Structures are given as C-alpha cells and as structure tokens.
Chains A and B, each alone.
Chain A
Amino acid sequence: MSNLTELTISESLEKLRAKEISPVELTEAYIKKLEDNKKYNAYVTTVPEKALEQAKESEKRYMSGANKPLDGIVLGIKDLFCTKDIRTTACSKIIDNFVPQYESTVTQNLLDDGAVFLGKLNLDEFAMGGSNETSYFGPVVNPWSKDVKLVAGGSSGGSAAAVSANMCAGATGTDTGGSIRQPSAFCGVTGIKPTYGRCSRYGVIAFASSLDQAGPICKDVRDCALMLNSMAGFDEKDATSARVDVPNFESFLGQDIRGLKIGIPNEYRPDGLNEEIANYWDKAIEMMKEKGAEIVNISLPHTKYALPCYYVIAPAEASSNLARYDGIRFGNRVNGKNMEELHINTRSSGFGKEVKRRILVGTYVLSAGFYDAYYLKAQKVRRLIKNDFDEAFKKCDVILTPTSPIEAFAIGDKKMNESPINMYLNDVFTVSVNLAGLPALSLPIGLSKNGLPLGMQFIGKAFDEKTIFKASYQLEKSVNFKRI
C-alpha cells in the first residue's frame, strides 16, 4: 500500500488491529515520507532508528494481543516537550544542545499508550511567534504553498505542517495564544487547545505558565479525540493540573446536536473582516442549523482588549520563566570576566530578536512603579474577559468563530515584519480563550480563492471539550474537507 501515511490515526489503528499492516511497515512509510518532504523544514531532529525500535516493540504487542490504545501510531513531537535522551531545543540557540534527562508527562502518556516518536518538530523560538519565522532553525514551509513559500503559522508550525504533509499521523502542540489553532487553520488540519489544567505542563518548556496548554494536532476531529484522551489527565508533578475526570471523548462523536445552542459573538465580526472568512463563517452557521443546532447571538464586550491584555501578561510571565537561561546549569554559555557579564553575554547571544523583545516588555511591565499600571491592570481586564464568557455561556453551549482573520501569508511578508504589532493582530480570535483558560478546537472549513485552507473555531466551557467534539464532528461531516 503506497498511501499508508495518508491514513488517519483511527484508520491506521483499524488496519493494525486487523493485522493488515504492521507497525514497522507503517513507521517505514513515514520515514520515507520524511525524506521526501525535507523541503518543508517541519522537523528539527529526527530519530528514525529509535522509531523503528519502538515499532518493533509495538509489533510484538500486537502479536501477543497486548496492544495499547495508540500502539504503533507514528507521532511528531513539538520541540518544546522534553523527551528523554532526545535533544530538545525550543528552537532557540540558547539551548540548541540540551538533552533532557527526563520525559514530559504528556509524551510519557503517549509512549505508555504505544505511540512511536519520529522526531521533534519546528516551532517559533520558545513558542513566541505566529508564523514559525522566529525559529533558530528557520521557518517551516506551509505544504499548501504554490509559487511562493508561505508560512505554516505558529508557534506549532512544524506540527501542523508535518500532519498536513503526512509526515506523522498526529503531533503534539502547545497553545499559549493560538499556537495550536492558528497553524492548524493555515495548514488545513485540526487541532484542539484543551482547558487549562487538562494536560500536564510538566516537562513542557515554559513560555507563559498561566496560559500554556498542550494539545494534539491531527488530520481530523476523531484523531484529536483519541490523542487528547491519551495526553490528558491529572498529574501531581504539575501543581495547576486539574483533578478532573477525562471522559472518553470519542464517544461523543456522532451524537445528535439538535437543540445544541451555538453562540455567535458580534464582536468577532468587526468592520473590515475578510469577506471570504465572513462568508465561510455564515456557511458554517448554516451547516450547524441544518443539523438542528440553535443559533444564539451573544456578546463578548471586552474582546477588543484581549490582545493588549495578552501582550502584557504573556511577556511578563515569559520574562520571569526565561530568567533560568543563565548559562550556568544547561544550554550554551558565552563567558565573561565575571558572573554578570557571563549572564549578559550568554543571553544576548542565545535569544533571538522576538524573544528579547518580549523579555524586555515583560521586564518593564513587572518593574517597580509600572506593575500596577500594566501587569495588575491587565490581570483585572483578564477577569472581565473571563466574565464575558461566563455570561455568554448562560445563553449557549458552545461558541463558533473563525480561527484566524487571515490565510497563510508569504515567508518574510513585508507588512507582517514591518512592526511586531502587525503580527500580534493575527491572534485576535484566539487569545481570549487562553486568558480565560477555556478549550477551543480549530478545523478546516474550506479553501480561499487562493486555494489556501481557512479554519473555524469552536470554543467551549471549561472542561467541556466533549461538547466541542460533538459539534466539531458534525461540522466536519458537512464540510468534507479534502486534505493533501
């Protein structure tokens, strides 16, 4: 079979369980695909030998009937997850030689369920960016690119591109302000940012700890459900991990959505919203109506302030988290004549431009005299943003919006690179969810006139991913998106 890599996770599992294909055969097909698709720069480290060893172990389990939920499924891991004995860089020069001595909880959960890891995926440096252009290893190329090389989105650009181009069956991502959902939308794949606390952050290199959340990027909604079930769960190694039961997400797929109340926020349709995206949004609303859902107009009045709020809080937390990169305990060191000079030399040489910019902004908003005016103020606005969602969810079960206000743009796009704020504005539909800690899933809705994928997003109540899955699955069936 030549197109093994085009199978979804659930299709692969079916064939593996029926012994129509073997885990080794499957892994070999992905290794081949990897070689053919180097041009996308999706992986920064590959471990094909390790993957084949894992596949052989998986094969034994299938033969003995001891196979696990994701046995033999080939995954790519965002290079922000610590993987034992496999280099983990956050795509930063400052730790480009770091080899973790332990495994992150999320990747351990996947390994325990029999998954095979093919390698580590490219991302924006420390997950700070929306186009994967801040990576020390260079940008990821969107597999949907035609004449001009387009960005895959970010920060989980490598994850979305690898899934889209069939270089893994599924990938882990992280989402601090849209980093799973926006690249998923740009690359025509499906990704979910779960509720804050659903997946352990242990061993995930920290960007902004009150916003960071891991989640899967897959070919379809069912695969996201399967993979999230494996990744999620309480972990005593993460103090903010939630002691909440994880339901079997797959069991909600295919459930009737008659009477489901879908909220449409007015504020997500500003004047000048891209017409194609607005039209697709209307089309999605119609599709949900046809399935019997009830459409409810809602208001999220503080939406306008979500971006400035985010761009105070995220840099503040980042400046604190990234203080650990001091050239002493791990990572690269640039010597100086004393400790202070060593710190400054190491950090000046190791961090890229965007990371430095955010550390500076974060340091400023946390500094004496400005803390109240910026940081505390932003945390209060954050409360109001969360309250907006609480009010809205009194009227509806789930919210439907576009994922991104634009389609994938060219690598090195002049306007995007003119000012950092132009890039930040792309997160307009995604950041509120992180501030409020809510779950949200992006799935493809169709192609733009330029032939590029566009995404829609379902936002749910905290720990109510099941309703998101239920609704997304129905929309996915109506859309019937053609993947690469």
Chain B
Amino acid sequence: MAVDNEAVKQIAYLARLGVEEDKLEETQREFNKILAWVEELGEVDTNGVEPMFSPHEENILLRNDEVVEGNQSDKILANAPEKEFGYFVVPKVVE
C-alpha cells in the first residue's frame, strides 16, 4: 500500500518529526520502497499462528510497590535542558 505526501506529513506529525518540503518527495519514495519490501510478509500463511512479541514469554516478575530509591530530584534534574525551583521548565501549556 503506497502512501502519498499528505500521509507522510501525517505520520511525521504523529511521530513529532518535521519533514522539510523539499525532502518530502525523497522521504515518500524511500518510505514506499520499504513498505513494498516488507509487504512480502503477506505471502506467509499465518492463520492460527500466535504472535510472538518477545523471546521472554514467561510471566514478568512483579515486585512490591514500594519506594526503593527515592529523594533524588537533583539527579533526576541533572540533565534537564531547563529547570527552576526543583522542576522541569516547559513553555506555557495553559492559557
């Protein structure tokens, strides 16, 4: 199934990526090549086959919901591009 330029823009938006207008054609062309290639999978009869989401198929171990490492806001903020008063700073969200 080939996608057009509008679809490429929409997918990019969903991924929060911008595609420059002059790169749109190239992106769309490469995208469609890859799609056409992976569509080979359609040849395989997968009726009744259980999908395999991970090689680790046992139940995932759970732990008690307890704080094991806490009180490290300095470490958490250490790499923040912008911070103030112990918080991450972002552009205004609520008008």
Query: B-contacting residues of A (Cβ < 8 Å)?
Result: 97-99, 101-102, 195-197, 209-210, 236, 239-240, 242-243, 302, 304-305, 308-309, 311-312, 319, 323, 326-333, 335-340, 342-345, 347-348, 351, 356-357, 359-365, 367, 373-374, 376-384, 386, 419-421, 436-438, 462
Contacts and interface: CB of A to CB of B under 8 A. Distances in A.
B60 to A, nearest CB: 5
B55 A359 contact: no
B79 A99 contact: yes
B31 A361 contact: yes
A345 B18 contact: yes
A392 B25 CA distance: 45
Contact of B55 (A196, A311, A365): A196
A239 B60 contact: yes
A436 B72 CA distance: 39
B17 A312 contact: no
A197 B49 contact: no
Contacts of B38: 308-309, 311-312, 365, 374, 378
Nearest to B18: A348
B51 interface: yes
Nearest to A436: B55
Contacts of A347: 15-17
B15 A210 contact: no
Contacts, number: 166
Band of interface residues on B: 35 or more
B37 A311 contact: yes
A245 B31 CA distance: 44
Q: From DSSP, what is the main secondary structure of chain B's interface residues?
A: loop
B10 to A, nearest CB: 9
Contacts of A327: 81
Nearest to A419: B33
Contacts of A333: 81-82
Contacts of B66: none
A238 B73 CA distance: 22
30 contacts: A99-B79, A196-B56, A236-B63, A240-B54, A242-B56, A243-B61, A308-B37, A308-B39, A326-B16, A328-B81, A331-B81, A339-B90, A340-B16, A344-B18, A345-B18, A348-B18, A356-B17, A357-B27, A357-B30, A357-B31, A359-B15, A360-B17, A360-B27, A361-B34, A361-B35, A362-B15, A367-B11, A379-B52, A380-B49, A383-B50
